[in-house]
Structure formats: C-alpha cells, structure tokens
C-alpha cells in the first residue's frame, strides 16, 4: 500500500514528555509550550493528565494548565487530557476538557503496576466513564500492545480481550502503544492488519504510539503507514517515557516525523521550523536533552533545510 497523502500528528510531549522530567516545570512554561505547538499547526495535543499527584507530581497543576488553554480561542477541540481512572474523568470533565485518553494495558502485569488494577477492572471504569459522559470523546491508549517489561510477549487474546470490551462500549478511537520500544516493523504490520480485519465493520480510527528505545520508531511508523494507519502520537524533542515501565525511553520526536512527512510530500499542516523552536525552548528552560535526529543536524548546521 502506498503512503497516505496526509497524516495526523498527535503531540503528547506536554503530557508523556513532561511526566518523566523530575524537576518541577512551572505552569506558565507548560502552557507556553502547548501554545507554541498548537500555533505551529499541531492538530491535536495531549496537554496534561488528570492523575494522582502522588503518582506523577509533575501533573499536579493539570486543572490550571487545561483551563489556561481552554480559554484561548480555537484550542478547545484540539486538546486531549489523559486520565487514570473514573476520578480523573470527573476532574477532566469538570475542567471543560471534551476529549480524554484512557490507558489500559493489554498486559495484566503492567496494568497492575501502572494503576493497581487488572485489565478487566480498568475496562469496567472505561465503560462506566463512557456511560456517564456520553458527550465526552474517549480515546483508548492500549499500552504494552507490542511487549511488556514484566511478562515479555503479550498475547493476541490479551489484546482482543481489552479491545472487544472497548469497541462494545462504543469507543472507536484506539491507539496501539509500544510502551517500551520493542516493536519491529513486521510485528507492527501484522498486529494492525489482524485488528483491522477483526474490527473491520466497526469503523475504528487507528493510531500508533512508538517509543524510540531501540531506534525503531521511524521504521515502525512507516510500517504502520503501509497498512493504512494515518495518525501517530509523537513528542517534541523526543521527550518521554513511562514511570511504570522499566526500560521505556523517549518517544518518536515530532520534528523527525514532520521532517520525513515534508520530504515525502505527505501533508501534516505543521510548520517544522516552529516545532524546532519549541524543542529549543523546552530544552533551554528544563535542561533536558533533545532526542531528535533533525535537531542534531540543524544545530550543527550540517544540512540547512528545515
């Protein structure tokens, strides 16, 4: 299958990226980063997570971040927030967020580590949220879809157990997550194809979230495109990692994907130079490294095209 003519990039850096940074990032900086990315043309952005501050202290200002962004014209329908449980759903909805991401791990061991629940219990919470908030758009991030740090391989039975329940609840926005960066291109194509076939009558919007732990994020992204996936979660400056998944490192860098899309003639609507400026701003404010190939090249002025 040829590559698509357009791709939707979902920016998760302000949530997935910032949660792995230990020093406190002030609320104003978080809001500024989100605004810079949205103004660069990022169509969808995961701005924060409504999760216990005891678990992830960096997200304790979730309400303030969300409210500041919701007050800006044109941002509301482009914002997502991640939630960990029904309480998080309530908090997000009360703040005015209209789109949320809920995470369930296909791996029982990882789900237990992440939220202290079995997948079946998390699925019950997701279904309850869908019933309680029928106007709330819910996206599922299926964690450990390609492998688990605790149990290793994750079976198709474990994957479809969660997805069957999610689809039955009426949720059609599903992202397969390579939580610890172990996926390989043929595995990516095989899993997406199998699930596209299984749910072919359900009009599911598929997306992918790849970590670059082993340097395979771009190859896996292209593999997913080859089987029709057109939506990808990435993080500016390649930030990210899961606090509850040993070995997980940064995400696919937004600027690397946008650079490829530009060179391949695939539309994303994102201005690369402004994403690069955002990456520079973040790393300057926070002091973290930019895990991005195109950032390294442009910083050294080896190849000036941006």
How much is the pTM?
Answer: 0.93
User: Mean of the pLDDT values across residues 277-293?
Assistant: 83
Alpha carbons 107 and 231: distance in angstroms, whole number: 23
Alpha carbons 219 and 217: distance in angstroms, whole number: 6
- Looking at residue 164, its pLDDT comes to 98
3-state secondary structure of 24: coil
pLDDT tens string 237-246? 999 765 544 4
User: Which domains are delineated in the chain?
Assistant: 8-300 (3.20.20.70)
Does residue 242 carry a catalytic annotation?
A: yes
Does the pLDDT of residue 247 top 50, yes or no? no
- Rg value, the chain, Cα: 18
- Looking at residue 249, its pLDDT comes to 59
Does the pLDDT of residue 302 top 80, yes or no? no
Q: Which of 47, 148, 175, 242 is catalytic?
A: 242
- Looking at residue 84, its pLDDT comes to 87
Does the pLDDT of residue 208 top 70, yes or no? yes
- Looking at residue 240, its pLDDT comes to 77
> What does the H/E/C string look like for 167-178?
HHCCCCEEEEEE
Closest CA to 108 of 116, 98, 99, 97: 116
3-state secondary structure of 106: coil
pLDDT tens string 129-159? 999 999 999 999 999 999 999 999 999 999 9
pLDDT tens string 95-128? 999 999 999 999 999 999 888 999 999 999 999 9
What percentage of the chain has pLDDT greater than the value 90? 84
Alpha carbons 38 and 53: distance in angstroms, whole number: 26
Does the pLDDT of residue 300 top 90, yes or no? no
Tracing tokens 């792995």 back to the chain, one arrives at 20
């Amino acid at each position: 299958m040829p590559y698509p003519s357009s791709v939707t990039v979902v920016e998760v850096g302000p949530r997935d990226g910032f949660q792995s940074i230990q020093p406190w990032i002030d609320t104003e900086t978080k809001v500024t980063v989100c605004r810079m990315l949205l103004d660069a043309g990022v169509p969808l952005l995961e701005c924060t997570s409504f999760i216990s501050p005891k678990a992830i202290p960096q997200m304790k200002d979730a309400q303030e971040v969300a409210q500041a962004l919701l007050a800006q014209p044109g941002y509301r329908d482009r914002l997502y927030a991640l939630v960990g449980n029904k309480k998080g759903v309530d908090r997000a909805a009360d703040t005015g967020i209209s789109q949320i991401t809920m995470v369930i791990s296909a791996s029982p061991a990882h789900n237990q580590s992440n939220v202290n629940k079995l997948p079946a219990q998390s699925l019950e919470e997701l279904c309850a949220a869908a019933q309680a908030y029928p106007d709330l758009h819910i996206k599922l991030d299926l964690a450990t879809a390609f492998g688990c740090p605790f149990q290793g391989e994750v079976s198709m039975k474990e994957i479809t157990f969660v997805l069957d329940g999610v689809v039955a609840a009426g949720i059609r926005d599903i992202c397969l997550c390579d939580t610890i960066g172990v996926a390989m291109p043929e595995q990516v194509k095989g899993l997406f194809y199998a699930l596209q076939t299984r749910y072919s009558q359900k009009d599911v919007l598929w997306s992918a979230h790849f970590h670059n732990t082993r340097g395979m994020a771009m190859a896996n992204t292209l593999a997913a495109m080859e089987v029709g996936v057109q939506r990808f979660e990435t993080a500016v400056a390649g930030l990210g990692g899961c606090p509850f998944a040993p070995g997980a490192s940064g995400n696919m860098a937004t600027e690397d994907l946008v650079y490829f899309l530009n060179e391949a003639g695939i539309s994303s609507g994102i201005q690369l130079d402004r994403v690069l400026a955002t990456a520079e701003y973040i790393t300057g404010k926070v002091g973290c490294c930019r895990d991005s190939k195109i950032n390294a090249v442009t910083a050294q002025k080896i190849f000036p095209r941006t």
